[in-house]
Chains A and B, each alone.
Chain A
């Protein structure tokens, strides 16, 4: 048999050259990630500052902004800055981060850019849970986030049970079952509106449109805890996820517990989407667009992490626009993201082709 001997007589110089190129490639991806992270972080900070300074309705003397932010000024400035604008800006940033993370996780797991928690119905489950609390137990401390997580987990469980066949989950079925079940959740929520009292309905309605308007520090606390926990979880799962993206069989061959990791990641994504939804409502399309934007910037391998920053920048940016853009402002953030996201969604469907496989 032919022997093309590359191993027994290793060519040291050729080997060194390949090693140099391998390292250069690795460095290039790392550098690209560093640049993307720095630019996006700067953008997020700039948008945070812009959101607090501009602030939409209500005038505050610029000289009062900084003292108020640190609680040194009382009266109107303190109220505007500390009670309204800061929680609002922080909520936009954190909710965006959570939406971005949840979307990118699902897109990666299901290997389909359309399969985000809001499209497959997880968010509808979260919404049904949160609405129940809004309408019947509005005074319950942290009732909405907890109910939203419960609702999303129940829906995820149902979707998972209905879409698994022969012990494996068919992702195509998962998306279809999710769309079906999400309709059930919407029907349930609509039913609740027919039996609840007017005042609660008004609150729930405003929440359902999706807006960071009127988020208080409790909401910011919920979002912060959520962002930290989900962020750490994603960090922990990251390497297993990158192995999973090679397909279930190769991932198993590489020593990944495929079903365990998948369930953990699906739950993590559901919890992230549910927490964000419970505080700011279903701000549409952020989870859909963040992942693909992150993939464009740094490649699929590092996209899940970067989508956190992309999502934060998107919601913050959309909110600054929603508050300050001439003619349209003020509009709820969710309306604006939907206006911008819907065309993208249509474009995605029109150009979508199944991911190439070897």
Chain B
């Protein structure tokens, strides 16, 4: 199995305090990998460091075997796309114009939009189901529509690897599943390597083929959903007691949290 992204003993953080200290991880090509863990465990930090959004203090990040920091940033942008948690939509921009921004790394200075660009944009709009919105201003869209437009922008960037930082936060359950389905389709049809930070263990188990569980800036476990989503690991990582049962349709592991209270007692 080839490694699309490899982090070798990276240390990073904000200012003097290190959030991640000498972490190594390899992400396989053509798969959906989910980063899970409690708040402030460093999963977003890891995602940002491998996408060069955060400088690393030590170690190296390899993208398709090449050190990411030795490559010009535009070249990296043609191979690796990242959708951060809260991108900003410029005032009164239309969906079509916003998605067009995804072509940025492919354009030369002074070059106008080409037909090839337009075809990629149209494909991105259609794949995300946002083609109907093409002439609408982004600030008039609902949260779910807007998130799909952002994903369309990331698709227009047309990179073999796509990183997403909590792509389903702020969305209702139907829109969450819609976004996850879309990512699964993309992965299946184009072989795109997808890495996403997720707060939802059950969705991660359903859609990802590899899960990385983090706590306190280091990786506790990495493997298939069956390997990672065990009662023991969930207790180790989240400090949460739970029951793991197979999904009735897919047999993927699903967790049912057990709180402090005994909910079997009827009032």
**A295 & B88 in contact (Cβ 8 Å cutoff):** no
CA distance A3 to B190 in the complex (A): 13
| Bound-state Cα–Cα, A247 to B121, Å | 21
Within 8 A of B (CB), among A185-215: none
Cβ of A102 to closest chain B Cβ, rounded Å? 19
Fill in one digit per residue for B196-211: 1 if any A CB lies within 8 Å of its CB, else 0: 0000000000010000
- B92 and A24 form a contact (CB under 8 A): no
When each residue 233-253 of chain A gets 1 if its CB lies under 8 Å from chain B and 0 otherwise, what string results?
000000100110111011011
- Does B147 reach chain A (CB closer than 8 Å)? yes
- CB nearest to B115 among chain A residues: A19
A10-53: which have CB < 8 Å to B? 10, 14-15, 18-19, 21-26, 28-29
Alpha-carbon distance between A296 and B179 when the two chains are bound, in angstroms: 33
Interface status of B23 (Cβ within 8 A of chain A): no
* Chain A residues, CB < 8 A from B52: 252
Nearest Cβ on chain B to A264's Cβ, whole angstroms: 15
A111 to B157, CA, bound (A): 24
Which B residues lie within 8 Å of A22 (CB)?
Answer: 96, 118, 121-122, 125, 134
> Which residue of the partner chain A has the closest CB to B15?
A166
A-side contacts of B80, CB under 8 Å: 253
Contacts of B207 in A (CB 8 A): 1
List of A residues within 8 angstroms of B74 by Cβ:
255
- Is there an interface contact between A253 and B123, defined as CB atoms closer than 8 Å? no
A-B contact count (CB 8 A): 155
Given A1-B184, A255-B76, verify A358-B91 contact (CB < 8 Å). no
State whether A167 and B55 are in contact (beta carbons under 8 Å apart), knowing that A18-B131, A255-B76, A299-B92 are contacts in the complex: yes
Complex CA–CA separation, A255 to B53 (angstroms) = 10
Q: Is the CB of A355 within 8 A of B91?
A: yes
CA distance A50 to B72 in the complex (A): 52
Question: Nearest Cβ distance between residue A71 and chain B, in whole angstroms?
Answer: 39
Binds A, one of B58-66, B97-105, B214-222, B235-243: B97-105
Bound together, the chains give a CA A28 to CA B136 distance in angstroms of 12
Is B188's CB under 8 angstroms from A243's CB? no
Per DSSP, are chain B's interface residues mostly helix, strand or loop, or mixed?
helix
Q: A243-B104, A246-B87, A247-B84 are in contact. Are A253 and B126 (CB under 8 A)?
A: no
The complex places the Cα of A23 from the Cα of B125 at a distance, in Å, of 13
Contacting pair B181 A5 (CB below 8 A): no
Within 8 A of A (CB), among B93-132: 93-94, 96-97, 101-102, 104-105, 107, 109, 113, 118-119, 121-123, 125-127, 131
**A139 in the interface (beta carbon within 8 A):** no
Residues on A with beta carbons closer than 8 Å to the beta carbon of B81: 253
Chain A minimum-CB-distance residue to B157: A254
**For chain A, which range describes its interface: under 10, 10 to 19, 20 to 34, or 35 or more residues?**
35 or more
Which residues of chain B are within 8 angstroms of A165 by Cβ–Cβ distance? 15
Q: Is the CB of B82 within 8 A of A255?
A: no
List of B residues within 8 angstroms of A250 by Cβ: 82-84, 87-88
Residue with the highest number of chain B CB atoms closer than 10 Å, among A14, A257, A356: A356
Distance (Å) between the CB of B205 and the closest chain A CB? 13
Q: Which one, B92, B127, B190, contacts A295 given CB within 8 A?
A: B92
Q: Which residues of A contact B121 (CB under 8 A)?
A: 22
Who on chain A is nearest to B72 by CB? A255
Cross-chain contact B77 with A301 (CB below 8 angstroms): no
With a cutoff of 8 Å between Cβ atoms, the chain A residues found around residue B84 in the complex are 247, 249-250, 253
Highest count of chain A CB atoms <10 Å: which of B51, B73, B104, B123: B104
Given A18-B125, A249-B48, A252-B53, decide whether A300 and B118 contact each other with a Cβ distance below 8 A: no
Of B87, B92, B123, B189, which contacts A247 at CB under 8 A?
B87
Which A residues are CB-close (under 8 A) to B48? 249
Pick the contact of A253 from B51, B88, B135, B146 — CB < 8 Å?
B51
A26: B residues at CB distance < 8 A: 96-97, 113
**CB–CB B87/A245 < 8 A:** no
Chain B residues contacting A242 (CB-CB under 8 Å) are 90, 101
Give Cα distance in the complex from A124 to B60, angstroms: 45
The answer to whether B92 touches A253, judged by C-beta atoms less than 8 angstroms apart, is: no
Chain B residues contacting A254 (CB-CB under 8 Å) are 77, 101-102, 104-105, 157
- With A239-B107, A252-B52, A254-B102 known to touch, is A25 a contact of B134 (CB < 8 Å)? yes
Binding site for B on A (CB under 8 A): 1-8, 10, 14-15, 18-19, 21-26, 28-29, 111, 165-167, 239, 242-243, 245-247, 249-250, 252-257, 295, 299-301, 355-358
**11 A–B pairs (Cβ distance < 8 Å), ordered by A:** A6-B126, A6-B127, A18-B125, A239-B104, A246-B101, A250-B87, A253-B82, A253-B83, A300-B91, A300-B92, A358-B86
